[in-house]
Amino acid sequence: MESRARLLLARELMLRFGIATGISKTSPPRRYLWTDAFAVCNFLGLYRQTGEGEFLECALQLVEQVHHTLGRHRDDDSRRGWISGLPEQEGELHPTRGGLRIGKPLPERGPEEPFDSRLEWDRDGQYLHYLTQWMHALHRLSTATNKPIFLSWAIELAQAAHAGFMRPDIVRGHRRLVWKMSIDLDRALVPSTGQHDPLDALLGYLELQADATAPSSAADRGVLEREILESRTLCEDGQWETDDALGIGSLLIAIFRLARMMERYKLPELALMTRLVVAARISLDAYTQGNPLGAPAESRLAFRELGLAIGLHGCERISATPAYGRVINQSLAAISAHGSLAADIDEFWSVPGHRQSASWLAHCNINDVMLASSLTPSGYLGA
């Protein structure tokens, strides 16, 4: 697709998303944190590319809706107000201090309810990897608007998330991040650790710390220092290889974000970068062995493939440099050899008929947003 066609389709998809989920105020808000994080970035990218103020207003309106919907208790919950427990006025000033709900259709599992793996996918709570996406969206909004309040909210979210999700591991004798927490961050709903959660946390914290404004007191100088130290320790034992498309995309996005921070802020992260690019190379080689894009639309999950495409678009923007060394540069070259996958994914899901398949329509909002992100990735990637 040529660039204007990509922009026009992304514009159409995001306007449709705005109407369908109530951003345009034509219907009640329907908020889901993962999708909304990418959507904020998309609106900012469209605003920058088109100059249409409507898209900046959509980004701002979406942030307000997320905070006033997912930052507060559900309508079907006996609890009321901000999930942080803050009084109304203080909660308005600090809407992310208690984290943010996922936005799943079913209430969270009660303390006495038995675990049901199938139902748990549709139950509310908090996911760390969704919170890190929202930190990124707030960071992008702060950069685009030059308003530090959004960066402050992102940092408060990072602090709340890390404090809530970091739990003692009795078996191993140290602390670790759990995958899913209750809405009030009081109890673990799924105690296992997400494969890339420590990495997502570390990069999110590093990004926020690097762009934090100059501290006004000695106490502020260590912003996210403990969170970075603890998540870095967890990353030392990380195994990043995966054959899941969305997981590989997350890994590639991590590589792009780390490369950008190493360039802009001179972060000394060659060891971590080496591990990530080697894991991504292994993962892409494993993923492509089974001809994963050969199935019909009905048998494919678009948003997972599009996550991979976004990651590949990010890695397209990384230039080899002698400072990286042989292993990183060779691995980046091997990753680039898979670059045509991104074009294939974008082209396939840009066909209107493929977006009428049952698999697309079952996840229409997240698919629309992820396709828009892949078609115009500068909004999400920030480059």
First to last CA, the chain: 20
pLDDT tens-digit map of 23-60: 988 889 999 999 999 999 999 999 999 999 999 999 99
Regions of the chain where pLDDT drops below 70:
170-173, 213-221, 383
pLDDT tens-digit map of 134-193: 999 999 999 999 999 999 999 999 999 999 999 988 666 678 999 999 999 999 999 999
CB 241 within 8 A of CB 278: no
pLDDT for the residue 236: 92
User: Number of C-alpha atoms within 13 angstroms, CB side, residue 93?
Assistant: 4
Structure tokens at 302: 């678009």
Axis crossing angle, helix 53-69 with helix 128-145, rounded to the nearest 10: 140
| Residue 65: closest CA among 27, 10, 122, 16 | 27
pLDDT for the residue 221: 52
275 C-beta neighbours (distance < 10 Å), count: 18
Name the 3-class secondary structure at 362: coil
| Residue 67: closest CA among 174, 152, 162 | 152
Taking the mean position of all CA atoms in its chain, how far away is CA 126? Answer: 13
Strands of the sheet containing 188-190, edge to edge, are 126-127, 180-181, 188-190
pLDDT tens-digit map of 120-148: 999 999 999 999 999 999 999 999 999 99
Name the 3-class secondary structure at 46: helix
pLDDT for the residue 26: 83
The C-alpha angle 53, 135, 317, rounded to 5 degrees, equals 75
Say how far apart CA 87 and CA 310 lie, in whole Å. Answer: 40
pTM value surpassing 0.85: yes
CA distances from 123 to 103, 118, 137, 154 (A): 9, 10, 24, 25
pLDDT for the residue 383: 66
Say how far apart CA 245 and CA 284 lie, in whole Å. Answer: 9
